Amino acid sequence: MASYRLLIKPSAAKELEAVPPKDRRRIASRIQHLASEPRPAGTEKLSGQEKYRLRQGNYRVLYSVDDAKLTATIVKIGHRRDVYR
């Protein structure tokens, strides 16, 4: 399987910096794994959108996948109570 290129929006990078260091390392690790498998087990497609959700503890990573260009774009990272707003 081809490796996907990871793109992170600047706003998502800022949101990742705001996460506590312990959780930040886990989230970064999960994001890096998206390059080899953009739809790993446990992800869900969001209804009404072309985005997916990745869970890591109390935090969620929202991202979109473009199979034609082989890219995964991280759109938003945040606590589960705020990320969907």
> Which regions in the chain score pLDDT beneath 50?
none
Domains of the chain listed by start with CATH number? 5-79 (3.30.2310.20)
pLDDT value for 1: 63
As a whole number of angstroms, the distance between CA 45 and CA 17 comes to 25
**Strand arrangement of the beta sheet that strand 5-8 belongs to:** 5-8, 71-79, 59-66, 52-56, 44-45
Q: Are 31 and 48 in contact (CB under 8 A)?
A: no
Per-residue pLDDT, 2: 77
**Model confidence pTM above 0.85:** yes
- Tens digit of pLDDT for each residue in 44-53? 999 999 999 9
Give residues with Cβ within 8 angstroms of 52, minimum separation 6: 38, 39, 43, 44, 45, 46, 62, 63, 64, 65
DSSP at 3: P
At residue 13, the pLDDT reads 97
